[in-house]
Structure 1
Amino acid sequence: MAVATIVMPFHITNTIAGTWSYGSAFCDVWLTSDILLCTASIFNICGIALDRYFAIHDPINYARRRTVKLVLLMIVLIWSLAAIVSVPPLLGWSDTGSLYDSDANICHLTEELGFVVYSACGSFFIPLSIMSFVYLKIFLATRERLRKRAQACAASKLVVLNGKSNTPEVQIDLVSNESNNDTAETRTPSMHPSPLLGRPPTANSSSQKLEQFFKERQKISLTKEKKAARTLGMIMGAFIFCWLPFFSVYLLNPFCKDCGLRGSYLELALVILGYVNSCLNPIIYTIFNVDFRNAFQYMFRKFCRRQPNLRQSRTPRRAQL
């Protein structure tokens, strides 16, 4: 939202006019804000990835440690790191000392080699490496946990035995009150059918029901596994698709100043593609993450309830006038 309201309007006017009309000082502030907000957006994605990793890797302890203070600390840390990456040009770390070219009357990112490598690694390539590692660990941990759950379900103590009497025997655990020791006992259901229950179950029918039950559990686990893989794939795919082309060209510019990439339509398209990622993130997380979806629904309902109250409070005043 901040990218759409603060950065993009000036970028659109600058692109349409072909010149920068807001002066040198505002050029530095605007480009610094551009780097700051885009970097913070990337760091937020990285922070969410780390949060999910700890929630899956150590759910009990992390749920106890994840307090409001910890969340606020993470937010402050994200914006502080984003400021460390984006502020140096504002302090003079650029090839000309300013991001504004008075001769050509344009406002552009610096091509100073040291800052380009520093900002590209800090804003994208390091977070990309962290996210790739974390999401891979999340995917593997989730898949392993679902597989263990399916195996535990298949290895349940509910066992149907086909004996001489063709009567199913179910092994159950009983607790002896006298010795306080666990003892195993096998009970055989009565062969005298109850008028309400009808015919007693056979071993074959019980086996078929158990087999169907285990298949359903395995199907649910497989569905969850596919959904987790699809969600992680979309998040990483959108992030890489939107930002990798821009940062590749951004990193290439200082090494190939005669390539004609600066100010080209290709560079403009890649900048816009990076902005698109800020629009895609809320959509992806809202569609595929229940917590985000519930939070957005709560905010929307709260906003809708507030609107009628505002209208009712304004109506008497208008009537008096």
Structure 2
Amino acid sequence: MAENSSCSPEPLEFYNTSLGFESALPEWEALLTIFTLSLIILLTVVGNILVILSVFTHRPLRIVQNFFIVSLAVADLTVAILVMPLNVAYAIIGKWLFGIHVCKMWLTSDVMCCTASILNLCAIALDRFWAITDPINYAQKRTLKRVLLMIGGVWLLSLIISSPPLIGWNDWPETEDFLNEPCQLTQRQGYVIYSALGSFFIPLLIMTIVYVEIFIATKRRLRERARASKINAIVAKTQVSTQSKDCIKVSRDRESVSSETNHNEHPNSSDVTTNGKTKEKKRQKNKKKKKSSDKEHNAYLKPVLIHEDSFTDNPENSPSSTRRNSNPCTSDNLAVTSSSTTTSTTPLPLNKPHSKNSDQKVVINEPTPAVKKPGAVYQFIEEKQRISLSKERRAARTLGIIMGVFVVCWLPFFLMYVIVPFCPVCCPSRRLISFITWLGYINSALNPIIYTIFNLDFRRAFKKLLFMQT
């Protein structure tokens, strides 16, 4: 915002410069001031344009809540275009040369745009607060219409705060006397309190409360997730124990079937000599039945196509180890992660005649569906929760940094803005006023930098827009 002082204006000493105009600063100081403030303006314009373009051109950023960031960038951009350049000229020349109407426009734009920037920060903080404390319900309420209404409310409130001086709540001089007067914000004490509360102190209070609530909510959710992780670990161990028992039972059943098969395939010689022809006929019938059962079994063993994954490239993948690993009850398979969707196995020879021993192996190593790791679902949920909370922590941290920078930049100005009209002996120098005012303006340049540093999607979008990556 523009400078404000109820003190008598200090006498100015003007210096001739090689640039052809009189300056209120020595030439070296004037050149340094022009260079520094022009650089701040350039950074503010470029940074906020990049923010706006990033949201509209980079797909991951094209989400409804980022319209708050677009509104903030528009407010900061208007500060850089409508307010900062005239302030540079006023600081260098030391007197207002542009008339009363431009002065009124400049001061009104100053209050409105700076207030809009601050209120947009407040709206972003509230949006993050509702998203963290009531995520399910607010996800349904956070529509484009709702966000646009909030943004419209921010700009309308900014206009309400900045417009009263235009309709008479001011102490500006008459037009004909303005050439000898400084262009500064009205010093009416009532308006100073009104505008300071609406532009800074109430938003600051809201953001402080909201940020503390976000911090508490994030801490609480982290504790809940840690408690849920312990419960999931206990459940997973219980499932492992249960599955191990089931696998032992299945293994015993298969051993029983195997021994029964061996007994039937190797009858006692005394039975052969005793029963003679009867046994021979039964054996022939059994052979016929066995051939038909082999055909059915081979048809059953022609299942799905084998998909290759990292397990296929394992050098230990010999036929014997493959048959061992195809058993889901082995310790190796119990340790397979849930990400392995298909386990590759070496297919059994389907067209060769089986010996008795090979038939026995077929029965023992009958293929069964792959078993996913117990507790894999819980681990997946935990991982999703961890990523979600990590994003929330980063968003809360970014919000905290934005708020901290906002306080550092604007608190000195608004303290000066409120104190000086009520303290006639408090007369800061012109250079101090200019420094504190530009400290507030710098906040509009820092917001895009904060997004770039702490948001990966904005970094990628900025690099893409600046042709720094293909």
Normalization by structure 1: what TM-score?
Answer: 0.73
Residue 151 of structure 2 corresponds to residue 22 of structure 1: no
1:98/1:45 Cα in 2 relative to 1: closer, same or farther (>3 Å)?
Answer: farther
Residue 274 of structure 2 corresponds to residue 108 of structure 1: no
Q: Contact 1:27 / 1:100 at 8 angstroms: preserved in 2?
A: no
Q: Contact 1:43 / 1:78 at 8 angstroms: preserved in 2?
A: yes
Aligned amino acid, residue 49 of structure 1: A
Aligned amino acid, residue 122 of structure 1: G
Q: Contact 1:89 / 1:98 at 8 angstroms: preserved in 2?
A: no
Q: Contact 1:113 / 1:254 at 8 angstroms: preserved in 2?
A: yes
- 1:240-294 per-position Cα deviation (integer Å, ceiling 9, x unaligned): 1001011001101111222222x62111111101111111122223433467x28
Provide the rounded CA distance (Å) in 2 between the counterparts of 1:52 and 1:221. 13
Bigger RCO of structures 1 and 2 (CA < 8 A, at least 6 apart): 2
Q: Contact 1:120 / 1:247 at 8 angstroms: preserved in 2?
A: yes
Report the equivalent of 1:235. 402
Provide the rounded CA distance (Å) in 2 between the counterparts of 1:140 and 1:91. 45
Q: 1:190 aligns with which of 248, 251, 260?
A: 248
Report the equivalent of 1:279. 445
Aligned amino acid, residue 138 of structure 1: I
> Between the two proteins, what is the percent identity of the paired residues?
48
Q: Contact 1:95 / 1:111 at 8 angstroms: preserved in 2?
A: yes
Aligned amino acid, residue 270 of structure 1: I
Report the equivalent of 1:250. 417
Residue 175 of structure 2 corresponds to residue 117 of structure 1: no
Gaps of 5+ in 1: 162-166, 172-185, 204-209, 305-321
Residue 331 of structure 2 corresponds to residue 200 of structure 1: yes
Which is greater in Rg? 2
Q: 1:266 aligns with which of 425, 428, 432?
A: 432
Aligned amino acid, residue 126 of structure 1: I
Aligned amino acid, residue 16 of structure 1: I
> 1:1-321 residue pairs with structure 2 within 5 A?
1-96=77-172, 102=178, 104-156=180-232, 157-160=234-237, 169-170=241-242, 187-190=245-248, 195-196=324-325, 200=331, 227=394, 230-261=397-428, 264-289=430-455, 293=458, 297=461
Aligned amino acid, residue 237 of structure 2: V
1:59/1:290 Cα in 2 relative to 1: closer, same or farther (>3 Å)?
Answer: farther
- 1:188-235 per-position Cα deviation (integer Å, ceiling 9, x unaligned): 54397972379737x9xxxxxx9xx8xx97997996676455323312
Structure 1 residues 53-62 or 234-243, which shifts more?
Answer: 53-62
Aligned amino acid, residue 141 of structure 2: R
Provide the rounded CA distance (Å) in 1 between the counterparts of 2:148 and 2:173. 35
Provide the rounded CA distance (Å) in 1 between the counterparts of 2:175 and 2:132. 44
1:6/1:96 Cα in 2 relative to 1: closer, same or farther (>3 Å)?
Answer: closer
Report the equivalent of 2:309. none
Normalization by structure 2: what TM-score?
Answer: 0.51
Provide the rounded CA distance (Å) in 2 between the counterparts of 1:34 and 1:115. 15
Gaps of 5+ in 2: 1-76, 252-320, 335-374
Provide the rounded CA distance (Å) in 1 between the counterparts of 2:151 and 2:223. 34
